[in-house]
Amino acid sequence: MTAEEVYLKYPDEKVVGFFRGSQPELVIRDPEFMKRILVTHFHNFHGRGLLPNPTFVEPLLKNLFFADGDIWKLLRQRFSLAFSTGKVKAMFSFITERAEKLQMLTEEVAQLESYDARELMARYTTDFIGACGFGIDMDTLNDEKSIFRQIGQRIFKRTPYDAIRAVLKYTFPDLCKNITLLTPELETSMNYLVNSVLQQRNNESTGRNDFIDLMIELRKQGKIVTESMTERNADGTPKMIELDFSNPLLVSQVFLFFGAGFETSSTASSHTLHQLAYNKKYQRKVQEELDGILKKYDNKITYDAVIEMNYLEKAFYESLRMYPPVAYLIRQCSSKYTFPEIDLTIDEGVRVVMPIKAMFNDEKYFKNAHLYNPDRFATLKDMKNNLFIPFGDGPRTCVAARLGLMQSLAGLAAVLHKFDVEPSSKSIFRPTPDPTGTVSENFVDGLPLKFTKRKQST
């Protein structure tokens, strides 16, 4: 039974406990409880608990997303400044270039009766990751078989062999410590790509403001030092801990940037195109806004232009509400915790699951939740509250959320400013979820749409 099924089956409960195999889990159905777990009482729930055996972590998973405890705190401390507004603005030239190339590719696609919007946006985001992450122009927009596109597809494709490895790893974590969750070819490919770039640069930043440059600069800052979250001195004060930002650690952060930047942005933006194709009224409102804003910027998709695209942002967030790229959040209890309202105490080690997709589509919180309606967000504040948290919340919120948002909005603006989208003969209004998906919700046969050049486009 999944967390979403549990959420729907017990509509009157604040929490629901169940066993996943032999391990107890708790599904959180109450937004106030969710806020406490993610924000207010974060110190009791700072771990994700995603790794089957935290003492044996494969190299690529030693990254900010999977790390727990002190390793997470050390990495987060160093990364907080890497995605500041200033850093994102400095990276935006990569987005502008890829957005312009996306328009040219969409013009080719417009000659076809149908084309997968998921593939279109994945080629755009992967090309951006290649340039912004590695400083490499892989041209995935013009080559759907590029190595970057293949790696991106492999990260999020689960084969039967992958599933068997995962079952063994989680069922027998101590016995299967030498079995990896990720296919070994990914580690080989990522090490080769990152180390090749580092060698070309002689381990020196180039001033390109890409992710490799950021990592080199972070490594030059030396050891990361902070107070421990879990270890104490004899007098009760936190122990000081440190971490060397080694080459393998650098590679694992680049792997995270690659995977998260490619998958979540392409999934969310293609869902938005799919919804706008079936909701022409809102598509027109988006395009009217784009026409007015881009006219002021000589039809260039710049950072300042995207900042003004408020209605496009609403349209994007409404798609995130219906189909959040990550359907649930997971935390692990780090010390015994009590929910006083229901007199429930859970032990250390219990995982809590927050099915945010189910919450976002709950009529209790969103009227006519099954309908796509960007106008439900009367103000931008409505898109960022304690309940609607598509990028997470609290200290473990997505560190690169702003970059992902700007990348997605720029890609959508590039397509919708020049092209109309509508259902094709192969489109399905409510497409079938792909059972082989891992992190994000994908669909069987993708999201095919018809792209047509706008007659009114300037």
Structure tokens at 423: 């259902």
Closest CA to 262 of 189, 141, 106, 155: 155
Q: What is the pLDDT of residue 195?
A: 85
Check whether 46 has a pLDDT greater than 90: yes
Could you tell me which residues are beta bridge partners of residue 28?
A: 15
- The partner residues of 452 in beta bridges, in order of sequence, read 420
Give pLDDT, residue 140. Answer: 43
Residue with tokens 């381990």: 203
Question: Which pTM does this prediction carry?
Answer: 0.89
Of 163-167, 266-270, 323-327, least confident by mean pLDDT is 163-167
Burial class (CB in 10 A: 0-12, 13-18, 19+), 64: buried
Q: Please report the pLDDT score of residue 412 as a whole number.
A: 98
How many CB atoms are closer than 10 A to CB 298?
A: 8
Look up residue 268 and give its two tokens.
């969310």
Write the pLDDT tens digit of every residue in 321-371. 999 988 899 999 999 999 999 999 999 999 999 999 999 999 999 999 999
Beta-carbon neighbour count of residue 406 at 10 Å?
A: 20
Sheet holding 351-354, edge to edge: 15-20, 23-28, 351-354, 329-332
pLDDT in tens, 391-419: 999 999 988 889 999 999 999 999 999 99
pLDDT(162) > 90: no
The top-scoring range by mean pLDDT among 159-173, 256-270, 320-334 is: 320-334
Domains parsed from the chain with CATH numbers = 1-40+326-379 (3.30.43.20), 41-325+390-453 (1.10.630.10)
φ/ψ of residue 449, rounded to 5: -140, 165
Give pLDDT tens digits for 206-230.
Answer: 777 788 888 888 888 888 898 998 8
- What are the backbone angles phi and psi of residue 6, rounded to the nearest 5°? -65, -45
Q: Whole-angstrom Cα distance, residue 138 to residue 391?
A: 28
- What single string gives the DSSP state of each residue in 30-85? -HHHHHIIIIITGGGS-B----S-TTS--GGG-STTT--HHHHHHHHHHHTTTTSH
Q: How far is CA 299 from the centre of its chain?
A: 29
What band does 146 get if pLDDT is binned at 50, 70 and 90?
A: low
User: Which amino acid is residue 76, in one-letter code?
Assistant: R
* Helices and strands, counts by H and E, the chain: 15, 11
Q: How many CB atoms lie within 10 A of CB 143?
A: 13
176 annotated ligand binder: no
Q: How confident is the model at residue 109 (pLDDT cuts 50, 70, 90)?
A: very high
The Cα 363–Cα 366 span in angstroms is 5
CA dihedral 288, 294, 298, 302 (to 10 degrees): -160
| Cα–Cα distance for residue pair 134/209, rounded to 1 Å | 10
pLDDT at 172 over 80: no
138, pLDDT greater than 60: no
Determine the straight-line distance between the first and last CA of the chain, rounded to whole angstroms: 51
pLDDT band at 136 (very low <50, low <70, confident <90, very high): low
pLDDT of 282 over the 50 cut: yes
pLDDT at 426 exceeding the cut of 60: yes
Q: Which pLDDT band, with edges at 50, 70 and 90, does 82 fall under?
A: confident
378, two tokens:
């009367």
**Bridge-partner residues for 242, per DSSP?**
225
Of 125-139, 208-222, 258-272, the range with the lowest mean pLDDT is: 125-139
Nearest Cα to 326, choosing from 407, 392, 255?
392
**Residues 426 and 448: beta-carbon distance below 8 Å:** yes
Report d(CA 198, CA 190) in Å as an integer.
12
The alpha carbons of the chain give a radius of gyration, in whole angstroms, of 22
pLDDT reading at 187 higher than 90: no
Handedness of CA 270, 273, 275, 278 (dihedral sign): negative
The encoded tokens of residue 447 equal: 């999201």
d(CA 230, CA 225) in angstroms, rounded, equals: 15
Give me 403's structure tokens: 């970059």
What band does 120 get if pLDDT is binned at 50, 70 and 90?
very high
pLDDT tens column, 238-254: 999 998 888 888 889 88
Would you tell me the crossing angle of helices 310-322 and 280-296 to the nearest 10 degrees?
140
User: Quick check: 381 pLDDT over 50?
Assistant: yes
pLDDT at position 141: 43
The overall average pLDDT reported for the chain is 87
One-letter amino acid for residue 83 of the chain: F
Is the model more confident about 397 or about 2?
Answer: 397
User: Is the CB of residue 301 less than 8 Å from the CB of residue 153?
Assistant: no
Contacts of 100 (CB under 8 A, 6+ apart): 301, 414
